[in-house]
Amino acid sequence: MVRLEKRFVLGGGVFLWFYSLLLYIMFSLYIFYTLTPFRFTTIKDYPHTSTNAYFHHPITSIYNNTCNLFDGRWVKDEDGPLYSNLSRKSIPLNRNCLLNGRNDMDYLYWRWKPEGCHLPRFDSKAFLCHVKGKTMAFIGDSFGRNHIESLLCMLSTEDIPREVYKDEEDKFRTWQFPHHNFTLLFLRSNFLLFGKERIINGSFTGGFHLHMDKLDNNWTQKLPNIDLAIFSVAHWFSRPNYLYKGGKLIGCVNCGEPNLKAFSPGFSIRKAYRVTFEYVNESRKGIVVFLKTFSFAQFENGGWNRGGFCNRTKGFTRENVSFGGDGWKYRNIQVEEIERAKKYGQKSENKFEILDVTRMMLMRPDGHPGEFWKNKSRKGYNDCLHWCLPGPIDTWSEILLHIMIGKNVTPITRL
């Protein structure tokens, strides 16, 4: 009896020793992975994760043909962005607002909620599976560049891209995603049309000579190898541009010359998209084309070169947004031209879709870099045109994916 009691006591001591050791190990792991001082991200970071929302739910439950994705409001999102400002090397310094000193972070915790339907979080795995073996090109101005920078950050949580080409002026770049045989291009073309800088006495005037019946060869030569194209131009048409047709000067935009016919920026925008889409329909078969609509500059107290700034830390509600002005005219022109192209594109089996971001981005004056963009050549100026990364612009790719999968927008395989 005494011997049994002694063995029981010894067993209890061993048990307590192992139990204490186990608790120590678990506590150490908790401290290391949650409180470690070597974690550098300043916001929630979700590297190499995928929500798989598009795989876990039938497409019909996610995409509703009667729902307008672009009519909605911004709602609070406790999860925050899919990547951090420090976890993605592809973020350019002038878009990395937090790294440049921005301290408020509320602008990162909002999601776009369409009325009447659900927009899932971006799924990098679903996106890459959908475009596997394809080539996608962003063609246009710096907004296209801003968008592709955002998309690169989001896709790199699944597959790290390799940059395989970059020209000296940083206007044309190519990335490849090795595990998905997916190629991503940025082709800078501020007008889509052929244009030359207007030089007087050796100095750039700020305007251009635009040929309304000629396209920019920098992107047209790439078109045969492109499966999906996202076009984005508008802002540069408000400059003092001189317009030509058949090689002859027909008038100008914002030039103030009484002997020349005055055209509106909207006239040039319409012509640019019409000539572009007619060319696409005539020269390609089975391509998928997206048009991203006009995104307003949101300067307050002056323009970009007159002390204008954008230091808001809260967005607007849909009730506080004014839907008017020239920007809305440009957006309406873009909608009309994409609908026209869609009608004629059926003959060539081309698909035309719109990314109508105008309304949603008007509600986000808090999402611009403002003074936090570290541009040495423009010191003292604020950027109230482009978007912080991460930031509201990440929603554009969520909608892009939603349309591609929901409408089964897939390019025809090139022979």
64 CB neighbour count, 10 Å cutoff? 14
What confidence tier does 26 reach under pLDDT thresholds 50, 70, 90?
low
Helix (H) or strand (E) holding 404: helix 394-406
Domain-located, residue 288? yes
Residue 59 near residue 405 (C-beta atoms within 8 A): yes
Spell out the residues 6+ positions from residue 200 whose beta carbon is closer than 8 angstroms to its own.
Answer: none
214 CB neighbour count, 10 Å cutoff? 16
Question: Which residue in the list 147, 180, 235, 386 is annotated as catalytic?
Answer: 386
The CATH number of residue 222's host domain is: 3.40.50.1110
Dig out the tokens for 269 from the structure. 């925008």
Which range among 104-108, 197-201, 227-231, 362-366 shows the weakest confidence by mean pLDDT? 197-201
- Region 265-290: what's the mean pLDDT? 98
Share of the chain above pLDDT 90, in %: 72
Greatest alpha-carbon span in the chain: 119
Q: Is pLDDT above 90 for 62?
A: no
Name the residue range of residue 384's domain. 53-406
Closest to 367 (Cα-Cα) out of 320, 300, 315, 297: 315
Give the C-alpha separation, 333 to 327, whole Å.
10
**pLDDT top residue among 205 and 289:** 289
pLDDT tens by residue, 45-58: 333 344 444 444 33
Task: Give the model's pLDDT for residue 411.
Answer: 83
Give the C-alpha separation, 48 to 99, whole Å.
22
Question: Which residue in the list 77, 118, 142, 209 is annotated as catalytic?
Answer: 142
Which amino acid belongs to residue 30? Y
The angle that helices 394-406 and 142-155 make with each other, rounded to 10 degrees, is 80
Q: Is pLDDT above 70 for 14?
A: no
Give the C-alpha separation, 161 to 220, whole Å.
25
Which amino acid belongs to residue 220? T
Give the C-alpha separation, 47 to 87, whole Å.
8
**Is the C-alpha dihedral spanning 63, 69, 75, 77 positive or negative?**
positive
366 is known as an active-site residue? no
- Region 128-141: what's the mean pLDDT? 98
Domain-located, residue 12? no
Question: Which residue in the list 159, 216, 383, 394 is annotated as catalytic?
Answer: 383
173 has which bridge partners?
166, 186
Give the C-alpha separation, 193 to 242, whole Å.
13
Task: Give the model's pLDDT for residue 252.
Answer: 98
Dig out the tokens for 212 from the structure. 């309304």
What confidence tier does 377 reach under pLDDT thresholds 50, 70, 90?
low
Q: Is pLDDT above 70 for 166?
A: yes
What confidence tier does 36 reach under pLDDT thresholds 50, 70, 90?
very low
Domain-located, residue 45? no
Domain-located, residue 251? yes
Q: Is pLDDT above 80 for 308?
A: yes
Give the C-alpha separation, 145 to 284, whole Å.
24
Task: Give the model's pLDDT for residue 408.
Answer: 77
Q: Is pLDDT above 90 for 410?
A: no
Q: Is pLDDT above 50 for 34?
A: no
DSSP 112: E
Domain-located, residue 377? yes
383 is known as an active-site residue? yes
Give the C-alpha separation, 276 to 83, whole Å.
35
193-200 vs 203-215, strand pairing mode = antiparallel
Give the C-alpha separation, 135 to 73, whole Å.
32
182-188 vs 228-232, strand pairing mode = unpaired
Half-sphere exposure of 185 (CA within 13 A, CB side): 22
Domain-located, residue 143? yes
Q: Is pLDDT above 50 for 205?
A: yes
What confidence tier does 324 reach under pLDDT thresholds 50, 70, 90?
confident
Tally of domains within the chain = 1
Task: Give the model's pLDDT for residue 30.
Answer: 42
Q: Is pLDDT above 70 for 19?
A: no
Domain-located, residue 138? yes
Q: Is pLDDT above 70 for 276?
A: yes
Task: Give the model's pLDDT for residue 415.
Answer: 56
Per DSSP, the three-state class of 277 is: helix
Helix (H) or strand (E) holding 282: helix 265-283
The angle that helices 326-345 and 265-283 make with each other, rounded to 10 degrees, is 20
Task: Give the model's pLDDT for residue 412.
Answer: 76
Which amino acid belongs to residue 77? D
Give the C-alpha separation, 27 to 91, whole Å.
36
Domain-located, residue 10? no
142 is known as an active-site residue? yes
The mean of the pLDDT values for the chain is: 86
Burial of 320 (0-12, 13-18, 19+ CB in 10 A): exposed
